[in-house]
Structure 1
Amino acid sequence: MLREIHLSGFKCFDTLNLPLGRLTLLTGQNGGGKSSVIQALVLLSQTFTYQEWGRSLLLDGPELALGNVTDVLNQETARDSLAVGISSDEQKVKWSFKTNDRHALSIELEQLEVDNLLISTEPNTAIRWLMPLPYAENSPVVNALHHLNWITAERAGPRELLPLRISNDHARVGHHGELAAGLLYWRGQDVVDSSLLLHDTPPTLFNQVRGYMQRFFPGCDLRVTPIDGVSAVSLRLRSDNRSDFQRPQNVGFGLTQLFPIIVSLLAAQGGDMLVIENPEVHLHPYAQQEIGMLLAETAASGVQVILETHSDHVLNGIRLAVKQRKLPATDVRIHFFAHRPGQPAIPESPAMDDDGRLNSWPEGFFDQFDFALAKLM
């Protein structure tokens, strides 16, 4: 499990050391830096996948395209370098990158530290996953980032056809959720972790996904069907068990937004890391609270969860899960990012006790309801 991320000279951060938990919630004002934390993790994971033997951090890739070097360097310090450090339970790694071309779409590896020791990356050194071979193949940090599954807030909307690839290509739901139906097609008979099972429902992934979708949307059901002669599947949904299955665009938008999240949570295995942006999109408050509880239950099953949210209902779902002893409070990290022009981007981090109560409530932290209510009273 990852325990901390360090950023230096990256986007809005001059320096950041951010603790991570079994479940980490990132929230705050727009432009505060929470997405930048996620992007740093995704950039490393993307580089490992698409530039396995390279010596540079891939900035403009097929999953995350941030632009060129100028777009990712901290604008306040005017440096030509940045660093990303990741600490796990067993290892601490820090990659430092430097550029001579601010218009480049990648930034070159300059220095590597492992457990605070400088590791040689001379030109004649074989580099894999941004590390010399002996380190790369046995690195807990690299292994954790290989198991990163990212679902962006810009999830695929209702579509009649969704991609179907070979089964190995459906290990993840895709960063837009576009591979979720294909994953369910190939892995529908997998058995879900016992701690997440709905006990009145068969334990297979397909049936558990159906059961959870019904928990969020009573009467909901789904069907995944391969299309003959085309590398695609169709996802059909219904919002009432008395109606016919319909094209996704003819049912509530929230169903297609939640579907890939449910699939990813139930398909995840111990050691995986799920990074999910705005799980509350198009969900009513009750469903937002329920997804917060399910995220906490998934974290308790041995999957590391990092989420970005603007929803106090998601936060309250996590608080309820802690109060109900579904997840220890010590496994939760909350970071609030306030956008204050001219000031360092340093988050505030309220701590949670065993009853789900927070020891502080920073200004701007889910307090807008109180401000509005005060004006209405």
Structure 2
Amino acid sequence: MDNTKLKIAFFGSSIVSAYWNGAATYYRGIVKALGNMGHEVTFYEPDIYERQKHRDIEDPEYCRVVVYPDDEVTLRALLREASEADVIIKASGVGAFDELLEFEVSQLKKETNLIIFWDVDAPATLDRIEKDRNDPFNDLIPKYDLVLTYGGGQPVIDAYEKNGAKKCIPIYNALDTDTHFPVEPQEKFMGDLVFLGNRLPDREQRVEEFFIKPAQNLPDKKFLLGGSGWDDKPLPENIKYLGHVYTRDHNAFNCTPMAVLNISRDSMAKYGFSPATRVFEAAGAAACIITDHWKGIETFFEPNEEILVVKNGEELEKILGELTPERAREIGEAAYKKVLAAHTYEHRAALLEEVISRRLFGEEKTIDNH
């Protein structure tokens, strides 16, 4: 694909706002890398959930952003525009008219284009269609040329292909080196352990297990909690609640404390091979990361050398009680070296380009899913 520049239409939740939108930095990293390769990307996003009032960025130079009102007439006009693209992508969780988009994009297939369903929450989608075989999406899966996923590894690949996907390939989260990097610490983020995540039903119990209870049992340690929705959650006195932490503060949030905690949602932990975007962002800031255990961690980082892994709250309490600033720096620096060497969005976009070239042009290349 050295001389082939593609026109790509991408329907997703939002690329300009991370407000109630955990996929924002993932979209930014992938789309920016594609733009830097010379591909022409248009990102279509609905004006919902007050995201436009809580933008993190202005319209970026690396893609054209189309923010559309929450109405079907406008959306159908944009679908007609998108039908002229070489690659048409419908992401999961757009948040408005998802079923309509899933169907209509599946109908845009031509001999000369590629239609892709990009699942940014494959565990949730797979659980949904397994529970309801009458879900309309079951019949649409085989119509897409490709299913790409935010994570999930072989379990998700097997599940999608069992449900009729022609091909399922994970395009994992990664580090955007332009936006996430080491910075000077900030006093407001000083602490022993921090966690950043919105309050979601399928993660709250794990937050209690891996963060809130350890805080109760380690009253001499200082904990910081960032993310939306925790306002009315009872918290021990040594947890400072920060509310929504804007993207511009993520580097300081990751660089300042002794350690940064990653807690998977239930569905992500179930399928494994699903590192959150914030794992790579924290590694890009040379943070010492402590994560709950999930299958496939070693695919991305070496446990005990580049990341610390705990299976329950008691293990976290033990590790945090023994962790020194010197040891934390060693682990953070090792994670930083690994993420730069293997887990940037340039790495992910290069894989995506190979995937597309094989499907559109029949170019034979070896594709490494990891």
**TM-score, normalising length: structure 2:** 0.30
Q: Whose helix fraction is larger, Structure 1's or Structure 2's?
A: 2
Higher relative contact order (CA 8 A, sep 6+): 1
Q: Whose strand fraction is larger, Structure 1's or Structure 2's?
A: 1
**TM-score, normalising length: structure 1:** 0.30
